[in-house]
Amino acid sequence: MSADARTFDYVIVGGGSAGCVLANRLTEDGRHSVLLLEAGPPDRYPWVHIPIGYGKTMFHPVLNWGFYSEPEPHLNGRKIYTPRGRTLGGSSAINGLIQIRGQAEDFDGWEALGATGWNARETLRYFVKSETNSRGASAYHGGGGPLFVSDIAGRHELVEALIAASAELGIPRTDDFNGARQEGAGYLQLTTRNGLRCSAAVAYLKPARHRSNLTIETDAHATGVEFDGRRAAGVRYRRDGAEAAVRAAREVLLCAGAVQSPQLLQLSGVGPAALLREHGIPLVAELPGVGENLQDHLLLRLVYKCTKPITTNDDLRTLWGKARVGLQWALFRTGPLSVGVMIGGMITRARPDAKTPDIQFFLSTVSAEERGAKPHRFPGFTLNFYPLRPTSRGAIRIKSPDPAAAPALLFNYLSTEYDRALMVEGTKLTRKLMATRAFAPYVVEEYKPGAGVRTDDEILECLRDSATTGFHPVGTCRMGRDAGAVVDPRLRVHGLQGLRVVDASVMPTLVSGNTNAATIMIAEKGADLIREDAGKTE
């Protein structure tokens, strides 16, 4: 690296859920200088901030990396579209806004797998620290954190039906998926504030961006980590078509997410030796686990035609309807535009003998041929579900030494008997819900997959044809102490100095919920670990 490269104490790569948290926390005491590099543009696109804009960013050519998996061997060779945010806020700028942290047992499980200090009690402190909940502070919720989490304004007949249908099946109502007990059916809480999306950039970066010790560069694509021996010395990146480099006096912090943090490590010579050799990349450190252990929730959507014109499809069908909900949002910050697409949920046990709930459902008051597509012209709604703790494992591997080339994503969805069985159970459970007295007044018919799909074999074939990502890739720079782990419990890359990974890729296993909250928690705790370690050397 050239001697005149600028130097910052910390260089953060990726301004997503985790990167925004670090940028804020590492600059708040004014002692260190921080550079945040984000490959995407600033988050000025209005539909990033209006919750229902989720549909507009799903395939956005600039704000979304729009990856595709390799042909999935157990999904009839389909390439699964895998959106990832590409702007300040990262995936939290384009996600479904659902705030479900996971189960206490997930985090105790992480600790048992070698992630010392990441148990339920310790992680709860950081979940609480990160949050301002519209219900106020409590043992489980924060009242003064940057991330706003809100109740959905108003009630909806279809969520009421879901709660009543669940009760018919013996599943209790819950008012809080993040409280003492996760199981139950009820309304979701969303990462919104006054009807606007509260992305990590809005929550953490906006209040920090005027600090003199924080520099934010957008449209800055990191292409590799520079090493001095085994110490990370800085980052190479491309901006406006030019090559640039920057030095990190203390640390390089990779927050590029579960797809691109392992990609950057591999491009930089840190990863499985054979893979790097294949692409002619000189080895800096052999870490066979980089890119391995890829996990995701596999999701099935069941679409129902509704008897009544009470769905978002109906709200958005006519110009007048659009104007009405637009006005409702503009004047009161309520209505369909303020809530994204999912408003109700249910978490339960597909297998009655499961130790903790093993399946999650979401009710969406809109239906479409695919996510992000135009709503159907008929009244319709969607029940989505995924098993919470899939056992299939895949990998992210570079296909080329060119940093602009997407890596190969292979999820291996449905590669285990457990995953296949749970997806079939989930389909049957959705149908049981729809056959309850509570839903009878609302359901015309199952539009998709439809009555033609009946037996377990037919359901499995339908899953292979149409199941898709739950948008939660994690685990590709797994935390732990064994030979396959990539980072230690302080998030430091094994065998190297001055380099950490702080994002969804460090999760040893998927959380039984959604992944934004847990990623923000990881970065909150990560910031404390980084500051503690800085304190030891000052």
Ligand X SMILES: Cc1cc2nc3c(=O)[nH]c(=O)nc-3n(C[C@H](O)[C@H](O)[C@H](O)COP(=O)(O)OP(=O)(O)OC[C@H]3O[C@@H](n4cnc5c(N)ncnc54)[C@H](O)[C@@H]3O)c2cc1C
**Catalytic site positions:** 472
259 or 433: CB nearest ligand X: 259
252 or 350: CB nearest ligand X: 252
177 or 381: CB nearest ligand X: 177
CB of 374 to ligand X, least distance (A): 17
CB of 63 to ligand X, least distance (A): 9
237 or 442: CB nearest ligand X: 237
Place of tokens 């969607």: 382
| 266-272 contacts, C-beta under 8 A, 24 or more apart | 266/290, 266/291, 266/397, 266/398, 266/407, 267/223, 267/224, 267/398, 267/401, 267/403, 268/224, 268/225, 268/227, 269/227, 270/225, 270/493, 270/496, 272/397
Tell me the window of 172-180, 350-358, 508-516, 528-536 that interacts with ligand X (CB under 6 A): 508-516
Among 472, 478, 492, 500, which residue sits at the site for ligand X (rule: CB under 6 A)? 472
Collapsing DSSP to helix, strand or coil, 325 comes out as: helix
375 or 379: CB nearest ligand X: 375
Tell me the window of 23-31, 94-102, 123-131, 134-142 that interacts with ligand X (CB under 6 A): 94-102
Output the six-digit token pair for 100. Answer: 């479900």
Tell me the window of 13-21, 315-323, 415-423, 483-491 that interacts with ligand X (CB under 6 A): 13-21
CB of 466 to ligand X, least distance (A): 18
Considering only residues 22 through 61, tell me which ones interact with ligand X, judged by CB under 6 A: 37-40
Among 51, 55, 83, 375, which residue sits at the site for ligand X (rule: CB under 6 A)? 83
Alpha-carbon gap, residue 9 to 31, rounded angstroms? 9
Tell me the window of 162-170, 302-310, 320-328, 510-518 that interacts with ligand X (CB under 6 A): 510-518
Q: Alpha-carbon dihedral of residues 88, 91, 93, 95, nearest 10 degrees? A: 180
If binding is defined by CB under 6 A, does position 86 make contact with ligand X? yes
Q: Is the backbone of residue 336 left (phi > 0), alpha (psi -120 to 50) or beta?
A: alpha
Considering only residues 188 through 217, tell me which ones interact with ligand X, judged by CB under 6 A: none
Distances (CA, A) of 422 to 167, 354, 414, 418: 21, 11, 10, 6
84 secondary structure, DSSP code: -
Burial degree of 64 (CB within 10 A; 0-12, 13-18, 19+): buried
CB of 437 to ligand X, least distance (A): 30
Collapsing DSSP to helix, strand or coil, 534 comes out as: helix
Collapsing DSSP to helix, strand or coil, 264 comes out as: helix
424 or 506: CB nearest ligand X: 506
Q: Which residue is nearest to ligand X (CB)?
A: 16
If binding is defined by CB under 6 A, does position 85 make contact with ligand X? yes
Could you tell me where the DSSP H helices lie in 409-500? 417-434, 456-466
Place of tokens 């419990």: 489
> What is the bridge-based pairing of β-strands 231-239 and 220-228?
antiparallel
If binding is defined by CB under 6 A, does position 380 make contact with ligand X? no
CB of 472 to ligand X, least distance (A): 6
**How many residues make contact with ligand X (CB under 6 A)?**
40
Among 95, 182, 293, 384, which residue sits at the site for ligand X (rule: CB under 6 A)? 95
Tell me the window of 241-249, 394-402, 404-412, 512-520 that interacts with ligand X (CB under 6 A): 512-520
Among 12, 48, 94, 270, which residue sits at the site for ligand X (rule: CB under 6 A)? 94
CB of 297 to ligand X, least distance (A): 10
Among 12, 23, 34, 97, which residue sits at the site for ligand X (rule: CB under 6 A)? 97
Among 11, 12, 18, 496, which residue sits at the site for ligand X (rule: CB under 6 A)? 18
- What one-letter code names the amino acid at 347? I
- The site string for ligand X over 214-253 (x = CB under 6 A, - otherwise) reads -------xx-------------------------------
Output the six-digit token pair for 87. Answer: 């702007």
Among 338, 367, 512, 516, which residue sits at the site for ligand X (rule: CB under 6 A)? 516
CB of 101 within 8 A of CB of 518? Answer: yes
Alpha-carbon gap, residue 226 to 15, rounded angstroms? 20
CB of 220 to ligand X, least distance (A): 6
173, β-bridge pairs: 185
Burial degree of 449 (CB within 10 A; 0-12, 13-18, 19+): buried
Tell me the window of 14-22, 110-118, 328-336, 458-466 that interacts with ligand X (CB under 6 A): 14-22
Alpha-carbon gap, residue 330 to 452, rounded angstroms? 43
Among 14, 272, 336, 379, which residue sits at the site for ligand X (rule: CB under 6 A)? 14
Among 27, 189, 509, 519, which residue sits at the site for ligand X (rule: CB under 6 A)? 519
If binding is defined by CB under 6 A, does position 16 make contact with ligand X? yes
What count of other Cβ atoms lies within 10 Å of the Cβ of residue 126? 23
Distances (CA, A) of 499 to 204, 265, 520: 22, 10, 19
CB of 393 to ligand X, least distance (A): 17
CB of 60 to ligand X, least distance (A): 11
| Cis before 449? omega within 30 | yes
CB of 82 within 8 A of CB of 75? Answer: no
Binding site for ligand X (CB under 6 A): 13-19, 37-40, 83-86, 90-92, 94-98, 221-222, 255-258, 260, 264, 471-472, 503-504, 514-517, 519
